[in-house]
Amino acid sequence: MKNFRFILLAMAACLGAVSCSDKAVKPAIPSDPQIERAVEKTLSQMTLEEKVGQMTEIGIDILGHYEGDNWVMDVDKVENAIGRYKVGSILNTPVVGQTPEKWQEIIGLIQEVSMRELGIPCVYGLDMNHGASYVMGATYFPQNINIGASFNPQLAYDAGVITAYESRASNCPWTYCPTVDLSRDPRWPRVWENYGEDALVNAVIGAASVRGLQGEDPNHVGPENIAVSVKHYMGYGHPRTGKDRTPAYIPESELREKCFAPFKACVEAGALTIMVNSASVNGVPVHANKELITDWLKEGLDWDGMVVTDWSDINNLYTREGVATDKKQAIEMAINAGIDMTMEPYDLEFCTLLIELVKEGRVSKARIDDAVRRVLRLKYRLGLFETPNTPLENYPKFGSEEFAQVATRAAEESEVLLKNVDGILPLKKGLKILVTGPNANSMRCLNGGWSYSWQGHLADRYTQQYNTIYEAVCNKFGKNNVVLEQGVTYVAEGGYEEENAPQIEKAVRAAAGADVILACIGENSYCETPGNLSDLALSENQRNLIKALAKTGKPIVMILNEGRPRIINDIEPLADAIIDILLPSNYGGDALANILAGDANPSAKLPYTYPRHQAALTNYDYRISEETDTMPGAYDYNAVVSVQWPFGYGLSYTTFEYSNFQCSTTEFGADTELVFTVDVKNTGDRAGKEVVMLYSRDMVASMVPENRRLRAFEKVEIQPGETATVTLKIKGSDLAFVNPQGEWTLEPGDFRMQAGNQTLMITCK
Ligand code: BGC
């Protein structure tokens, strides 16, 4: 046993070493004296009504109406919200996305009224979750789960840069992303919105996204960048029921070590705002949790950014969570916990009630001033006082081919090759291909939620210029070689799980004339609670389709197009090849065709554990006892981890061989820099990219250690026959864990380190 331990005070590189009582060594965002002076001056001139208005965000739905397909703003309602209630922020799209010209008109009007009535600009916010995804004609990137699968932070950065540019082209300065929840439960309908189940992957890729979206100077976000709202702080991805917005119970150690880490990394990358988790953690709704919002986030990280609620979540404290008796008490709880802005979104009673609470002394004036400072600081940092509008003509690259190419590369790097028996892929030219399955000819399926509309269900109306899988395969392999017979289809624009009566026989007949079957199955688009499920198995119709097609004896290339890993253990053996394209969006069909033809070499890895069985849901960093099979004597533990594919799994058309794994030292302390090197040789005959991952295992610890933890990763391109020496650096303190008292702890003892099939031991002294 290790015989002593010490508490780390230093901050580790990514998974930081702060405990509840720790203070950040320096402010997360250095304050700019000029901005602070401007904030104080504006604040000093504001009435209580104006201050409370700045803390209020309402939805656009209550400020206009549709005339046919044309959204029309009701100017009197805008005047009322901003003129009378002094509202400082507006969000959302009216049901569907709008053209950049329309956004210019909508937000332009709001800014005109705000500057005239308040002299303070409005901060408009949209869910630009994978590109400017509420803007028609913008460049849509693969969803975040794909970016996680790429294990390439540069893609997140590049996507961020383009998303910010196209958002500003639409006059929108603020977005509610990146999402860095950890998808610890495959049932959860929001698995695809973040970068997967691991804290480090979410931290590294989330931080890259923040820098891409906001730029490098959070005090001066230029007209080609936008403010982020990192979400959903925190513990959202571990619901006990697997359903959206339901309670999570997470030990303090895991909360700090895993859930907090990505938010900390994003804050250190300059994130200006953070959105709070709708649900409760350990019995306390996060919106009412002062410890998490004020102590850990604002004070712990010395962060002067702004905290916004999620949708109607102050109201949910009394309507859903049962921790407040009425709306007024709910507001009191949330504002005192540290909420700065409420996403109301449908009425303005918040303003009246918060003013009453201040007058009654239930919310202090100091708390109001603190919140309003944070709102104003955001607006100054965004340059909105000087430049409330960013005209479309300043953004000539909106929707350009240059941007489309970046999105196509991102899709290619994010589609995961999971099986390739006898090298059936890439497909030979000239083969007759049957394209089948409900996901074969749908842009909605490729995109997923947050695409043109919240549920993504209208996407096929707005995506004529992009290629479905079927269209992309026709373009690549020649229309004459390709037949479409879907066998199973979804109800157009219906709920995600709604399927039409299957016509499997038709697909089976069509298979007679084919050399290979491309079976495109998975899920239709959904988002949040409407995506809840009670059965993780893939739909029965779809599994029956594969089983029937398998009887033809024709080889099956199975394409999984799904937001979360649906169980396929009965049909996986029937496929010769499998690619999980996840949700690759508008260029995902083209990217897949490139992979099928061998014009692109797959390099993605699963960002989560793909379960094999309904009752065996686990994460890669499980405890060793979860894999204890038998022991001598009467007991048979029968605890075996059985997964379809592990976290980090993914094939390439080439092969890589690892050797010569070394560490700069065999003994270390908290401050030691550990430099690992490993040689990776491309032993195949084509260039390929490999994700080199460094794992650790704490051999003996005072708290049950995980079987392994990802500590660093790096994606490298290697030419055939060449060897790359890959360097991965961590600090000794990165191997610490959080003890039951919430303290970062590094104990002496052995750690087994692993890269590929190579291992070595190092010892903490
Ligand atoms: C979602 C958030 C989103 C917000 C605004 C909520 O329902 O949980 O992720 O940013 O709506 O659209």
- How high does pLDDT run on average in the chain? 95
Domain span at residue 287 reads 31-394
At 270-288, the pLDDT tens digits run: 999 999 999 999 999 999 9
Return the higher-pLDDT residue of 32 and 1.
32
Q: Which residues are catalytic?
A: 310
**343 and 249 housed in the same domain:** yes
Asked if residue 449 is part of any domain, the answer here is yes
At 396-450, the pLDDT tens digits run: 999 999 999 999 999 999 999 999 999 999 999 999 999 999 999 999 999 999 9
**224 and 305 housed in the same domain:** yes
Is the distance from the beta carbon of residue 528 to the nearest atom of ligand 1 less than 6 Å?
yes
**320 and 211 housed in the same domain:** yes
Which residue lies with its CA nearest to atom 2 of ligand 1?
310
Range from 16-30, 44-58, 716-730 carrying the lowest mean pLDDT: 16-30
Cα-to-centroid distance, 31 and ligand 1 (Å): 29
Is the distance from the beta carbon of residue 310 to the nearest atom of ligand 1 less than 6 Å?
yes
- Give Cα separations from 269 to 144, 209, 229, 684 (angstroms): 18, 9, 12, 38
Cα-to-centroid distance, 376 and ligand 1 (Å): 22
Place 18 in a pLDDT band, splitting at 50, 70 and 90.
very low
At 619-653, the pLDDT tens digits run: 999 998 888 777 666 666 667 788 999 999 999 99
Q: What is the DSSP string of 414-452?
A: TPEEEEEGGG-PSPPTT--EEEESTTTT-HHHHH-SSBS
Give the residue among 194, 197, 215 at the shortest CA–CA distance from 269.
Answer: 215
Asked if residue 406 is part of any domain, the answer here is no
**196 and 287 housed in the same domain:** yes
Give the H/E segment covering residue 717.
strand 709-718
Q: What percent of the chain has pLDDT over 90?
A: 94
Asked if residue 399 is part of any domain, the answer here is no
Cα-to-centroid distance, 96 and ligand 1 (Å): 15
The single-letter code of the amino acid at 79 is: E
DSSP 694: E
Is the distance from the beta carbon of residue 452 to the nearest atom of ligand 1 less than 6 Å?
no
**427 and 543 housed in the same domain:** yes
**508 and 562 housed in the same domain:** yes
The CATH number covering residue 671 comes to: 2.60.40.10
Site to probe by mutation for ligand 1, drawn from 232, 246, 287, 310 as the one with most ligand atoms within 8 Å of Cβ, is 310
Is the distance from the beta carbon of residue 176 to the nearest atom of ligand 1 less than 6 Å?
yes
Q: What percent of the chain has pLDDT over 70?
A: 96
Asked if residue 632 is part of any domain, the answer here is no
Asked if residue 503 is part of any domain, the answer here is yes
**243 and 338 housed in the same domain:** yes
Place 23 in a pLDDT band, splitting at 50, 70 and 90.
low
Of 394, 428, 453, the last residue of a domain is: 394
**473 and 526 housed in the same domain:** yes
Asked if residue 619 is part of any domain, the answer here is no
Question: Closest ligand 1 atom, CA of 179?
Answer: 9
The CATH number covering residue 263 comes to: 3.20.20.300
pTM above 0.75, yes or no: yes
Q: Is the pLDDT of residue 22 over 50?
A: no
**268 and 353 housed in the same domain:** yes
DSSP 62: G
The CATH number covering residue 443 comes to: 3.40.50.1700
What confidence score (pLDDT) does residue 635 get? 66
What confidence score (pLDDT) does residue 632 get? 67
Site to probe by mutation for ligand 1, drawn from 311, 315, 526 as the one with most ligand atoms within 8 Å of Cβ, is 311
Asked if residue 628 is part of any domain, the answer here is no
**461 and 495 housed in the same domain:** yes
> 764 forms bridges with which residues in the sheet?
668, 749
Cα-to-centroid distance, 671 and ligand 1 (Å): 40
Cα-to-centroid distance, 126 and ligand 1 (Å): 9
Give the residue among 609, 671, 663 at the shortest CA–CA distance from 641.
Answer: 609
What confidence score (pLDDT) does residue 2 get? 34
At 483-503, the pLDDT tens digits run: 999 999 999 999 999 999 999
Is the distance from the beta carbon of residue 127 to the nearest atom of ligand 1 less than 6 Å?
yes
Q: Is the pLDDT of residue 16 over 90?
A: no
> 21 forms bridges with which residues in the sheet?
none
At 86-96, the pLDDT tens digits run: 999 999 999 99
Asked if residue 99 is part of any domain, the answer here is yes
CA-CA distance, 576 to 599, in Å (whole number)?
Answer: 20
Cα-to-centroid distance, 485 and ligand 1 (Å): 37
Of 589, 611, 633, the last residue of a domain is: 611
Return the higher-pLDDT residue of 579 and 26.
579
What confidence score (pLDDT) does residue 591 get? 98
Q: Is the pLDDT of residue 10 over 50?
A: no
Q: CA quadruple 309, 311, 316, 320: dihedral positive or negative?
A: negative
Is the distance from the beta carbon of residue 92 to the nearest atom of ligand 1 less than 6 Å?
yes
**3 and 57 housed in the same domain:** no
Is the distance from the beta carbon of residue 311 to the nearest atom of ligand 1 less than 6 Å?
yes
Q: Work out how many domains the chain is built from and give that number.
A: 3
Place 344 in a pLDDT band, splitting at 50, 70 and 90.
very high
**668 and 687 housed in the same domain:** yes
Q: What is the DSSP string of 436-494?
A: ESTTTT-HHHHH-SSBSBSS-TTGGGS-TTS--HHHHHHHHH-GGGEEE--SS-BPTT-
